[in-house]
């Protein structure tokens, strides 16, 4: 088989790139290791920056999002029983969109199908060959049969555990990582959200987040120990602990119910440099991970796709390689800022096992300064709604 861009990974990054390029007449093949249902079974976040929303529009995949999403002009930050709102709209004249990543991915799969795009599921043993040559190719197996795709470029959109990053020699690759000494225990419940905006809560018992998917589907998280497993937490224990960590006015009106999904995610900051090696480009989780506190996971994947998509259409339509030649530099510049913001939000709102009394006072002062200072709130708001591409 021959294509112009072979895309490894059928998550939001790979599908969005494939859809955008197809609309510009550039051929792609997406190789996904799992099935469509398996990919859609993963519960992930759902705060979309304007940049991501605009890319979905350019990809012609915004109809359901526009109909079903929430538009949020702000978010609540609470510390103990004090709380205040960061009013994004007032501070930056920009809002964010709340629309689950699962729905984004579902819409992208439907759009690929509608355009008869090639997405190959259950693609095993994907290997990238000759990425540092002018004629790369990819091999994979399905049902034990070997297949080969010749291509001009390979986009590695296969997440943190994918093959693409591993294809870049260690002599070329530089990795930066920070692991946090706690995780997030998250549940999904068919209950009405406790508030019409997200609540990020820093309590003496640890972090908590109240988020949502729709009028009757809520997503809640509490900071937990990395040695915990979801089975250690009954639904009731979760709800009781969440109530202890959010301001009483919300705890009193919290509607509880059975969890339909419960999982623990470790918190990690990770970046690999460079994000290009010859004809191979890394995008999204394949190149970088952020702790979810800043809601930047999907949005940093989107800015990667923005830079690569524009670089590839410049290459194919204008014969100009400036975009692809500056892809890694441009993408990393924005990613490091998103890493900083996510790291800062994580330090601001979580309890660390080794925090001293002085550290706790610093954290409280940081939050008090944020509460009382418009400039500080503006910095948070600018980062939360998304820095320019």
Report how many residues bind ligand APR under the rule CB under 6 A.
27
Q: Is 258 exposed, middle or buried (0-12, 13-18, 19+ CB in 10 A)?
A: exposed
211 interface partner picked from ligand APR, ligand PHB, none, CB below 5 to 8 A per type: ligand PHB
Q: Is 74 exposed, middle or buried (0-12, 13-18, 19+ CB in 10 A)?
A: buried
- 384 tagged catalytic: yes
46 interface partner picked from ligand PHB, ligand APR, none, CB below 5 to 8 A per type: ligand PHB
- CA dihedral (245, 251, 256, 261) positive or negative: negative
Q: What angle do CA 183, 288, 23 make, to 5 degrees?
A: 125
Distance CA 277, CA 173 (A): 9
151 binds ligand APR (CB under 6 A): no
Active-site annotation holder among 22, 137, 296, 306: 296
- 307 tagged catalytic: no
163 binds ligand APR (CB under 6 A): yes
283-322 positions binding ligand PHB, by CB under 6 A: 292-293, 295
Q: Which stretch binds ligand APR (CB under 6 A): 65-73, 76-84, 106-114, 161-169?
A: 161-169
Contact 302, 49 (CB under 8 A): yes
- With CB under 6 A as the contact rule, the residue among 31, 53, 154, 331 that binds ligand APR is 31
Active-site annotation holder among 140, 180, 220, 384: 384
In the bound state with ligand PHB, the residue whose beta carbon lies nearer, of 281 and 341, is: 341
216-255 positions binding ligand PHB, by CB under 6 A: 219
313 interface partner picked from ligand PHB, ligand APR, none, CB below 5 to 8 A per type: none
Contact characters 275-304, ligand APR, x per CB under 6 A:
---------xx-----------xx--x---
117 binds ligand PHB (CB under 6 A): no
Contact 290, 339 (CB under 8 A): yes
Tally the C-alpha atoms within 13 A of residue 386's C-alpha that lie toward its C-beta: 22
- 12 tagged catalytic: no
- 292 tagged catalytic: yes
In the bound state with ligand PHB, the residue whose beta carbon lies nearer, of 47 and 61, is: 47
- 72 tagged catalytic: yes
- With CB under 6 A as the contact rule, the residue among 21, 39, 194, 282 that binds ligand APR is 39
45 binds ligand PHB (CB under 6 A): yes
In the bound state with ligand APR, the residue whose beta carbon lies nearer, of 211 and 377, is: 211
Contact 73, 87 (CB under 8 A): yes
47 binds ligand PHB (CB under 6 A): yes
Contact characters 175-214, ligand PHB, x per CB under 6 A:
-----------------------x----------x-x---
167 binds ligand APR (CB under 6 A): no
107 binds ligand APR (CB under 6 A): no
33 binds ligand APR (CB under 6 A): yes
In the bound state with ligand APR, the residue whose beta carbon lies nearer, of 203 and 299, is: 299
Distance CA 295, CA 380 (A): 12
273 binds ligand APR (CB under 6 A): no
Tokens for 96, please give them: 């964010």
Active-site annotation holder among 292, 315, 327, 330: 292
Distance CA 281, CA 321 (A): 14
The residues annotated with a catalytic role in the active site are 72, 200, 292, 296, 384
Applying CB under 6 A, the residues found at the interface with ligand PHB are 45-47, 198, 209, 211, 219, 292-293, 295
Applying CB under 6 A, the residues found at the interface with ligand APR are 8-14, 31-34, 39, 44, 101, 123, 126, 157-159, 161-163, 284-285, 297-298, 301
């Amino acid at each position: 088989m021959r294509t112009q861009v072979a895309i490894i990974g059928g998550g939001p990054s790979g599908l969005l790139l494939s859809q955008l390029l197809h609309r510009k007449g550039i051929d792609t093949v997406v190789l996904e290791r799992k099935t469509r249902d398996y990919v859609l079974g993963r519960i992930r976040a759902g705060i979309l920056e304007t940049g991501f929303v605009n890319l979905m529009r350019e990809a012609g995949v915004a109809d359901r999002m526009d109909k079903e999403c929430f538009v949020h002009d702000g978010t609540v930050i609470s510390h103990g029983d004090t709380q205040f709102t960061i009013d994004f709209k007032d501070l930056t004249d920009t809002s964010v969109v709340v629309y689950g990543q699962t729905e984004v991915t579902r819409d992208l799969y439907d759009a690929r199908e509608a355009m008869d795009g090639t997405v190959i599921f259950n693609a095993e043993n994907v290997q990238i060959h000759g990425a540092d040559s002018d004629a790369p190719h990819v091999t994979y197996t399905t049902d034990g049969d070997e297949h080969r795709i010749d291509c001009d470029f390979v986009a590695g959109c296969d997440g943190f555990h994918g093959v693409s990053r591993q294809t870049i020699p260690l002599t070329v690759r530089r990795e930066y990582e920070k692991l946090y000494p706690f995780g997030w225990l998250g549940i999904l419940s068919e209950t009405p959200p406790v508030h019409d905006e997200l609540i990020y809560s820093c309590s003496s018992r640890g972090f908590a987040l109240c988020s949502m998917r729709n009028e009757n589907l809520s997503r809640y998280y509490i900071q937990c120990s990395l040695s915990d497993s979801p089975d250690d937490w009954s639904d009731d224990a979760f709800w009781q602990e969440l109530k202890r960590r959010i301001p009483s006015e919300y705890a009193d009106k919290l509607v509880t119910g059975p969890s339909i999904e419960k999982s623990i995610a470790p918190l990690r900051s990770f970046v690999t440099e460079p994000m290009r090696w010859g004809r191979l480009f890394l995008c999204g989780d394949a190149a970088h991970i952020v702790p979810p506190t800043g809601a930047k996971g999907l949005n940093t994947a989107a800015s990667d796709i923005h830079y690569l998509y524009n670089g590839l259409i410049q290459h194919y339509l204008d014969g100009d390689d400036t975009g692809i030649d500056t892809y890694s530099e441009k993408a990393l510049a924005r990613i490091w800022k998103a890493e900083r913001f996510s790291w800062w939000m994580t330090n601001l709102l979580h309890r660390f096992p080794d925090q001293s009394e002085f550290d706790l006072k610093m954290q409280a002062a940081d939050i008090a300064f944020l509460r009382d200072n418009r400039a500080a709130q503006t910095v948070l708001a600018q980062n939360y709604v998304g820095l320019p591409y």
